[in-house]
Structure 1
Amino acid sequence: MKHIVTGIVAHVDAGKTTLSEALLYKTGAIHTLGRVDQGDAFLDTDAMEKKRGITIFSHQAELTYGDLALTLLDTPGHADFAAQTEEVLPVLDYAILVVSATDGIPGYTRTLWHLLARYHVPVYIFVNKMDARGADQQAVLTQLQNALSAGCTPFNLDAQDQLTEEAMENAAMQDDDVLGDYLASGELADPTIRQLVAHRQVFPVYFGSALKTKGITALLDGLVRWTRPAKPTAAFGARVFKITHDKNGERLTWVRVTGGELVARAELVPDQKANQLRVYQGTKFTVVPSVAAGEVCALTGLTDTYPGQGLGNAQDAMPAQLESVLTYAVDPQAEDISTCLAAMRELADEDPQLHVTWSASRQEIRVQIMGVIQLEVLRQMMTDRFNLNVDFVQGRILYKETITAAMEGAGHFEPLRHYAEVHLLLRPGKRGSGLIFDSTTSVETLPKNWQHQVLTSLPAKQQLGVLIGAPLTDVHVTLVTGRGSIVHTVGGDFRESSWRALRQGLMMLRAQGKCIVLEPWYDFRLTISRDQVGRAMNDIQQMSGQIDDSQDTTADDLTVLTGSAPVSEMRDYARTVNAYTHGQGSLEYTVAGYRPCHNEDEVIAAADYNPTADLDNPPGSVFVAHGAAYTVNWDKVPETMHLPYVYSSSKLTEMIFPAGS
């Protein structure tokens, strides 16, 4: 029997959980259809999910249809919980993207699409709510092909149970070689179609109504016919995609087995064994002795695992792309602060993107979040799970910093009986690339082990910018030369010189006005009545935002504005919309990444950050003379380095940087 792991992803209210119910019902896994609005959906098991009518946590179900065994992972739909959805994507064979026939392609759907591409997940599309007034199949298909991919193809079958000629032609057009064969033979074999789907060139589209179970059989038939299972490795491997705690407080590590076989009591990390292997069906589970490659289970007994971790021969997943953009302090009110910290750390164990930090000097717990809905859920979780009444205050924007020009930074660390010098080339990276570290230095110039010390030291701590002390991002850092001493260089010398070189280069760029502050932006979708459009457009302009599109709906005299705006300006705008539309309007937004700060001077002034006074991140270098160490300020470093600079000012000026940097 073929086994596939499939995740259902969607913008909130598109009908994702309703589709899960319909799939379970059609395959006999459940005998009664639950409803989200009635709080009895099979996979929305948490009390908060039932109350809010949205999926907050990912859930697992197993179903069988024909010769297909399907592990179904239902994921959160609200943008505030997108980080939990992203954690699931690396373990999927295929995804089902649910799109509402009446809502177009919202910004969060586009975000999901980009994430699915990032993790190379093949996608089926289910267009839901086709029974709603105003639903237009051709209009939705055109939107999908324009906004997502030309490969979005309705997989309609003819009387001979083959794809229609129109579907085959559109599928063939997505690959030049396939198109040539198709034009020559007039046929498209099933294995070829499976390959096009698996390679993300073609995306099967199905239309229906999950609530009325229309189109569900066609979708299931399509999953049986057009999917192919992943090829497992011979050696054992597994990838962690979620951490939870059950109602008894037992810590669960959720994994997808990628190769070999997972057996109970196996030692997966040093001195830690998988005590139980649980296969879940909603809230219920079965304890099994082993789990085969391709299957999903939850493990007990592991204490140090984390989402994205590779076990056995599996590699860790790439770092998550989605990140929190707001930070709040925890107000314990009458609760004990240490008890609150322990509870918050348990929640951070489940969701590392919370980034829970503790400041002993201020006696303050801080967390990072995606939005206000997540904040409300955190507050409720603290009450329900830990019997703690807390609030969250002092919300702040999480800014970042980057550079706009190249610079060679140098760092020297030579207190008595120590020695290391490092030169780093700093270049602007592509937007969203983070920090990249590499080397062009030959082993004759700097031995491999010393280069390794440099390249492991740079990412070992969070590197900060020099404008407001925010995290540095989108910078390509290259080791271009360095020097050590066989006699005096000891562990840690290259770490110190590397950090100082990076910092010194940033200070040089700061002096030239080539450092900038980045702020998070939202992509928004604002629905209002047509007579309120002028008010809304003026508001968005005042928020330094931009409107990309304006569309009148076919009913209800409404207009939909889409665009983007800074998080700092728009995060409280939903209340304003609710007030001037008397509760009839709606504002949806999702984090669209970081862009240059719209009010940089104001932000820098408010931060009042002195980079030379940051003792944890010194930009100067340390030399020795007459048996005593002394510090050279960052601006005097170039004239005191032992090694000549690799790049001249003219070479740095001539460098070309990637688009979007």
Structure 2
Amino acid sequence: MHLLNLGILAHVDAGKTSLTERLLHSAGVIDEIGSVDDGSTRTDTLALERQRGITIKSAVVSFPVDDVTVNLIDTPGHPDFIAEVERVLGVLDGAVLVVSAVEGVQPQTRVLMRTLQRLRIPTLLFVNKIDRRGARHDELLREISERLRAAVVPMGSAEDIGTPAAGFLPGLDPGAAAVLADHDDALLAAYVENTVSYDLLRTALAAQTRRALVHPVYFGSAITGAGVDALIIGIKELLPAAEGDPQGPLSGTVFKVERGPAGEKVAYARMFSGTLRTRDRITFGEAGEEGKVTAISVFDHGTDIGTDSVPAGRIGRLWGLGEIRIGDAIGAPRKAYEHFFAPPTLETVVVPGPDADRRALHLALTRLAEQDPLIGLRHDEVRQETAVSLYGEVRQETAVSLYGEVQKEVIQATLADEFGVHVTFRETTPLCIERPVGTGAAAEFIKKDENPFLATVGLRIAPAPVGSGVRFALEVELGAMPYAFFKAVEDTVRETLGQGLHGWRVTDCVVTMTRSGYWPRQSHAHQGFDKSMSSTGADFRALTPLVLVEALRRAGSQVHEPMHRFRVEAPADTLGALLPVLAAVRAVPGTTETQGALCVLEGVVPAAQVHGLERQLPGLTRGEGEWESDFDHYAPVAHGTVPERARTDHNPLNRKEYLLNVTRRVG
């Protein structure tokens, strides 16, 4: 049996979920096609998805094509849920990118295609909605080729396009040989000699599609079924089958985690090698945690069925692994989990309603973070809100990282509908970072200068190249003290850098441990361990933040805000109204190109201004403007007040406050 793990991707409302329904119907898996508008589709199972008519979570469903079993993964189209798409990409053998025949290439279409090409995932294009008024063919093919910068091969032509009777006539385009010859010397020679046969052309097409060099294009309609049969043939014949040796070493990747009816954790994993069986005890994750698989199901004929094993190439649902997380490797790591899209650039604070159960809210947000780690929860459980007494009322807050306003609305609705917790949000703000501007060093020694901890720690922090993250290094010998103490320092360094001098995450730096010291385990005769004379890991975890922030203070840090690269396509005569608005929000235009009556403007703009610009654009451009943007880089905050983020830790910037919180005493 051949297997194929296929992703369906698209800009929102291009008809991706409707195409999934049509594929299932054509394969005989379902008797009646569900409707997105009616909330009756097979893959949009969440109540919120049915209410809003959009896909929020990825879903897996299986259907057969002759001797091939296709695991189809339906993904969200809205950019606010791009993290769901990101997790799916790492487990795909091929993809279908859906484009609307009316709207054409949209912003998210370009983002997705760039990523598919970078990852070299074999991709077919399906131009949907050819039965709608305004659908295009030749013009749209040129748009796809130019705006997606893709080598495309039309697999036929649309008939009666733009009418309810629109259909698709399969057949290789006469120009296919010229496109394919660019990557095939034998085909090029045959093309020059005018001896290209259909078999040679079809063989070259399959080979180059599987290498992601060219992208076959089908036209059709998910609603009427036009062109879908041809697409199914393309899926079977042009996309590569799943690879992997069922007898090899165990290796898989978790790309989704959900909770079952009883609250149990269920992990979705693609197996790349070996065979995972029930009752197997396995290791997973970076820390090498262990767990026992208690149950397995796989996808088959539109549903999931219980089984005793999941072999290489298949996707399985796994029970029993209570500590497993999205991105964890099962068995031997195939490759490090990497991010294909930009990180979230916005943040908001969750404000519980007057009657909200704070423990229930904490649990609910933790459950949401399990399913989407990039929402990046920050719990504030230590900030003193009142000055009446030192240990006054504690304000418990949670900050949530976001991609956009729609995601915030969905989180709010999910908390209310699924967990019964009603919340509001504070204003969305940009998620900045800090980078050190110089080199700084600090040290504290046991029993010197009012150091209350039985630990000696010296640290130096220095800038590192942009994008390098945080690196920890040693200038002291690893054998100078127990390894657990070094590990405590490193872990605390990384945790402490989550909040710099201005409260933002510190990155792109090297932290070097320059001093170390401890008191060995001591005990009196005939007595047990004496903590007052012996160092513990807690001493190093408590002292490290004080040393690190002092080193960072001496080095200095600069706040950087997220910047988006934008592209605006608008009538040329509206440029005079558009440019002053862009300038007012600190957008920096880069290139301007006039294409007849249209003007294309590209540049960079602070992420905090993107949502407001998107709302103003229709009024500035008579409703004809098109905006697309995505994260590009972080830039130093050069205007206005440097943004500060309230701390959620014990505040090592204030030594007295820190020691009061950590030790309940000062020095």
In the TM superposition, what are the counterparts of 1:238-317 in structure 2 within 5 Å? 238-269=252-283, 272-280=291-299, 284-315=303-334, 317=336
State which of 169, 173, 178 in structure 1 corresponds to 2:182: 173
1:496 deviation in Å?
9.6
The separation in 2 between residues aligned to 1:78 and 1:467, in whole angstroms, is: 35
CA change 1:150–1:498 in 2 (3 A) is farther
- 1:4-53 Cα distance to aligned partner (Å, 9 max, x none): 10111111112211221222222222232333233322222222222211
**Residues 421, 348 of structure 1: alpha-carbon distance in 2 compared, 3 angstrom cutoff:** closer
Pair 1:37–1:436, CA change in 2 (3 A): same
> What is the letter of the counterpart of residue 335 of structure 1?
A
Aligned CA RMSD, in angstroms, stands at 4.5
Whole-Å separation in 2 of the counterparts to 1:251 and 1:315: 23
Structure 2: distance between partners of 1:374 and 1:11? 16
Distance 1:553 1:151, change over 3 A: closer
Deviation at 1:501, TM superposition (A): 8.8
Cα gap change, 1:411 to 1:378, in 2 (>3 Å) = same
- Equivalents in 1 of 2:120, 2:82: separation in Å? 17
Deviation sequence 1:79-99 (CA, Å, 0-9, x none): 111111111111111122222
Whether 1:427 aligns to 2:464 is: yes
SS of equivalent residue, structure 2 residue 417:
helix
Quick check: 2:348–2:401 contact (8 Å CA) kept in 1?
yes
Partner of residue 622, structure 1: none
CA 164–239 in structure 1, closer or farther in 2 if over 3 Å, else same: same
Equivalence for 2:240: 228
Q: Distance in 2 between matches of 1:14 and 1:201?
A: 24
Matches within 5 A, 1:401-420: 401-402=434-435, 409-412=440-443, 414-415=445-446
Task: Please say if residues 13 and 77 of structure 1, whose CA atoms lie closer than 8 Å, have aligned partners that are also in contact.
Answer: yes
- Indicate the residue corresponding to 1:624 in structure 2: none
Match of 1:89 in 2: 89
Matched residue type, 2:610: M
Q: 1:359 aligns with which of 359, 376, 380?
A: 380
Which position in structure 2 is the counterpart of 1:469?
503
C-alpha displacement of 1:356? 2.5
1:645 corresponding residue in structure 2: none
2:348 is aligned with 1:327: yes
8 Å Cα contact 2:8-2:96 kept in structure 1: yes
User: For the residues of structure 1 that align with 2:519 and 2:482, how far apart are their CA atoms?
Assistant: 17
Distance verdict in 2 for CA 1:608–1:226, change over 3 Å: closer
TM-score, normalisation: structure 2:
0.75
Q: Which position in structure 1 is the counterpart of 2:35? A: 35
Sort the Cα spacing of 1:504 and 1:539 in 2 relative to 1 into closer, same or farther, 3 A. Answer: same
Normalised by the length of structure 1, the TM-score is 0.76
**Cα contact 1:21–1:42 (8 A) shared by 2:** yes
State the secondary structure of the residue aligned to 2:310: strand
Q: Which amino acid aligns with 1:182?
A: L
Percent identity between the aligned chains?
A: 27
Q: State yes or no: 1:519 paired with 2:538.
A: no
Deviates more, 1:382-391 or 1:520-529: 520-529
In 2, distance between residues paired with 1:255 and 1:354? 21
Say if 1:59 and 1:282, in contact at 8 Å, map to a contact too: no
Q: 3-state DSSP class of the match of 1:110?
A: helix
Q: Does 1:570 align with 2:610?
A: yes
Kept after mapping to 2: 8 A contact 1:258/1:293? yes
Q: Partner amino acid for 2:188?
A: L
* CA shift digits 1:174-193 (9 cap, x unpaired): 5xxx34x4334546576665
Deviations 1:416-473 (A, max 9, x none): 58666666653332xxx35053779899999998999699558742525756231123
1:294/1:535 Cα in 2 relative to 1: closer, same or farther (>3 Å)?
A: same
Map of 1:146 onto structure 2: 146
Deviations 1:59-78 (A, max 9, x none): 11111112321100000111
Q: Deviations over 1:147-175 (max 9, x none)?
A: 33343333459xxx99556324323425x
Q: Deviations over 1:553-604 (max 9, x none)?
A: 99xx99997765323223345555678899x688866542443156544234
Distance 1:502 1:243, change over 3 A: same
- What is the aligned counterpart of 1:211 among 208, 213, 223? 223
Change in Cα spacing, 1:507 to 1:140, as seen in structure 2 (3 Å) is: farther
Residue identity opposite 1:539 in structure 2: V
- Output the amino acid matched with 2:356: E
Matched, 1:603 2:647: no
1:395 matches 2:431: no
- Distance (Å, rounded) in 1 between the aligned partners of 2:484 and 2:445: 16
Question: 1:198 & 1:424 partners in 2: Cα distance?
Answer: 47
Query: Match for 1:313: what amino acid?
Result: A
The answer on whether the counterparts of 2:155 and 2:217 sit within 8 Å (CA) in structure 1 is yes
Residues 585, 149 of structure 1: alpha-carbon distance in 2 compared, 3 angstrom cutoff: closer
Structure 1 residues 234-243 or 205-214, which shifts more? 205-214
Deviates more, 1:392-401 or 1:373-382: 392-401
> SS where residue 287 of structure 1 aligns?
strand
Single out whichever of 217-226 and 315-324 deviates more from structure 2. Answer: 315-324
Question: Which consecutive residues of structure 2, in runs of 5 or more, have no partner in the other structure?
Answer: 158-169, 284-288, 382-393, 448-453, 522-534, 659-666
1:540 matched to 2:582? The reply is yes
- Provide the C-alpha distance between the structure 2 equivalents of 1:604 and 1:577, rounded to a whole number of angstroms: 27
Unaligned runs of 5+ in 1: 619-630, 632-661
Deviations 1:184-233 (A, max 9, x none): 45465766654533433333333333333222222222222222224314
* Distance change in 2, residues 1:505/1:594 (3 Å): farther
Take 1:121 and 1:168, find their aligned partners in 2: how far apart are those partners?
22
Question: What letter matches 2:137 in structure 1?
Answer: Q
Checking the alignment, whether the CA contact within 8 Å between 1:419 and 1:484 is kept in structure 2 is: yes
Q: d(CA) in 1 for partners of 2:633 and 2:419?
A: 35
Change (3 A) 1:212 1:451: farther
Measured against aligned partners, the alpha-carbon deviations of 1:607-642 in whole angstroms (never above 9, x if no partner) come to: 899x98355999xxxxxxxxxxxx9xxxxxxxxxxx
Q: Which stretch shifts more, 17-26 or 182-191?
A: 182-191
Partner of 1:121: 121
Give the corresponding residue for 1:372.
405
Query: 1:577-592 alignment to 2 at 5 Å?
Result: 591-592=630-631
- Aligned equivalent of 2:11: 11
Taking the aligned partners of 1:612 and 1:443, their CA distance within structure 2 comes to 27
**Deviates most, 288-297 or 103-112:** 103-112
State the 1:109 CA deviation: 2.4
Pair 1:368–1:565, CA change in 2 (3 A): same
Q: Structure 1 residue 2: deviation in Å?
A: 1.7
In 2, Cα distance between the equivalents of 1:66 and 1:206?
A: 20
1:355-389 C-alpha deviation (Å, 9 max, x unpaired): 23322232223322222211211122122212222
2:182 partner amino acid: M
Task: Answer yes or no: is the 8 Å Cα contact 1:60–1:282 preserved in 2.
Answer: no
Larger mean Cα displacement after TM superposition, 380-389 or 407-416: 407-416
Residue of structure 2 equivalent to 1:69: 69
Corresponding position of 1:648: none
Q: Which residue of 1 aligns with 2:57?
A: 57
Structure 1 distance, partners of 2:656, 2:249, is 44
**Residue-pair matches, total:** 599
Q: State the alpha-carbon separation in 2 of the partners of residues 574 and 108 from structure 1.
A: 15
